[in-house]
Amino acid sequence: MEARAAFIERATDIAYKLMTPGHDRDDIRINIVNAPDGGWGMGGHAYTGERLTEAITRAAAATGTQV
């Protein structure tokens, strides 16, 4: 449970830093679900778990957030 809570907090931080001005941090929704490789879809692209982790890590680095 502790690891999930930390993940949600960090993911929310990343999403908030990438949002356009005027959005409320409290309106961000993060949902942890298990998906088969290739089952993640964002922006019209399918991601494996590994590619999703890489994308999140890149986004975090771009915002100066530690993952």
Tokens 């298990």 belong to residue: 34
Q: How far apart, in Å, do the first and last CA atoms of the chain sit?
A: 17
* Per-residue pLDDT tens over the stretch 5-63: 888 888 888 889 888 889 888 888 877 776 667 777 777 777 887 888 888 888 888 88
CA angle 22, 25, 28 (to 5 degrees): 110
pLDDT on residue 63: 80
How far is it, in rounded angstroms, from Cα 56 to Cα 18?
12
pTM to 2 decimal places: 0.52
> At 15, is the secondary structure helix, strand, or coil?
helix
Please state the length of the chain.
Answer: 67
